[in-house]
Structure 1
Amino acid sequence: MPRVQLFDKEKALKNAMELFWKKGFNGTSTRDLEKATGLGTSSIYNSFGGKESLFFETLQYYMETEQTKLGQNIKSSPSALKALRALFECVLQEDSAAGMPVSGCFVVNSITELANNSPRLNQFVTAARAGTIAILKELIQKAQEQNEIPAVNDPTQLAVYLQTVMTGLKVSGMLDSCPVSCSFTKFLR
């Protein structure tokens, strides 16, 4: 008879994600994960398949959460251009609004730590980046249809550019968030 999970998997994922985000994959020990999730080593392995599998589940959880927020921002905005602005404002305010030290983007942090050593991470990030670019491209196309952005701009190239800017903002914001967010917010107006 299969064992029944007696813990909140989403809460465990969220706590593990926050730990990996703060300490990185290599800086997080199994004991750290036990404390963060409230699970023993055997439960972590039985439920998630070990530290690496748990790490990738937390990355997936993060991306799903971020893309859900992105979708909600898009749906609640009266225009595509305003949705793009709101998206960038959200990126700029994310960490400071939480009252936490600026920690950057979990995915970007993971790339800088592990990209040269993890083909699996590279595949994950490539797929996640493509998803973000697709959402941005759709917004750009809508903004062009609404005559908010000149139609002469290629939506795919502009989406790639904006995704790259988003990544750069998260990294720059880790160093000194106010000058970056203040100057970019002025640019968005």
Structure 2
Amino acid sequence: MARTKEFDPDAALQAALELFWRRGYEATSMADLVDRLGIGRASLYATFGSKHELYLKALDRYERSGLTRIVRELSQPGPALPAVRALLRRYAAEASHDELRQSGCLITNTASELAPHDPAATRQVERNWDHVETALHSALTRAQAQDELPADRDPLALARMLLVLMQGLRVVGKASADPARVRDATEQALALLD
């Protein structure tokens, strides 16, 4: 008869996500995970596999949560451009917020730390960026169809520029204590939508 798990795998995955997000992949040891999750090493391996597999599962959870919010924000009925502007301003505000800026964005952190040498992490980062770009492109195309965005603008090129800006805001916000830097960059980018 199989033993039942004495811990909640969902709560353990969330705790691992938070630890990886705060410390990074390389700086988080298996001992750190065992201590933080409060479960034995054997249970950790049996439930999640290796540290790398656990990281990818945590990254997937983070990605799904963030994408759900972005898609919801950008697909509201009515004018589309205000939703795009609000999303970018939210990113700028979060990048400047003292508590949030310390951890940055787990996708951005993964792109910087692991993507150069980890194909699985690169695939997840690229998949996330593709989804965000698609959501932005869809909103900007809708804005153009509703005469909110000038006809001479390229919605796909603008979506890509905004995606790069969003990732850059997370990097700069994490390293800079000057909120004007991210705020000004955001407003300049948003001016391109006029």
Q: Fold-level match, TM-score > 0.5?
A: yes
- How do 1:1-150 and structure 2 match up within 5 A? 1-76=1-76, 78-94=78-94, 99-150=99-150
Percentage identity across aligned positions?
33
Question: 1:96, 1:102 within 8 Å by CA — same for their partners in 2?
Answer: no
Asked if the contact 1:81–1:149 (Cα under 8 Å) also holds between the matched residues in 2, the reply is yes
Q: Which moved further from structure 2: 92-101 or 149-158?
A: 92-101
Alignment: residue pair count: 189
Name segments (4+ residues, structure 1) moved above 6 Å: none
When the two chains are superposed, the root-mean-square deviation of aligned CA atoms in Å is 2.1
TM-score normalized by the length of structure 2: 0.87
Say if 1:80 and 1:101 are closer, same or farther in 2 by CA, change over 3 A. closer
Distance 1:149 1:5, change over 3 A: farther
Q: Describe the shift of the 1:137–1:4 C-alpha distance in structure 2 as closer, same or farther (beyond 3 A).
A: farther
Are 2:158 and 1:158 aligned? yes
Looking at structure 1, the residues matched to 136 and 38 of structure 2 have their Cα atoms a distance apart, in angstroms, of 38
Deviation at 1:97, TM superposition (A): 5.1
Query: How far did 1:106 drift?
Result: 0.8
1:66-85 residue CA offsets vs partner (Å, 9 max, x unmatched): 01111232245742111101
Quote how far apart the aligned CAs of 1:4 are: 3.5
CA distance in 2, matches of 1:150, 1:47: 52
2:139 and 2:2 mapped to 1: Cα distance?
A: 45
* Superposed displacement of residue 186, structure 1: 4.3
- The corresponding residue for 1:181 is 182
Q: Structure 1 residues 2 and 143, CA, compared in 2 at 3 Å: closer, same or farther?
A: farther
Q: Give the gaps of 5 or more residues in structure 1.
A: none
Give the TM-score, by structure 1 length.
0.89
Deviation at 1:40, TM superposition (A): 1.3
Following superposition, the deviation at residue 185 of structure 1 comes to: 5.2
Unaligned 5+ runs, structure 2: none
Summarize the Cα distance change of 1:88–1:119 in structure 2 as closer, same or farther, 3 Å threshold.
Answer: same
Counterpart residue type for residue 50 of structure 2: G
**Stretch moving more, 148-157 or 17-26:** 148-157
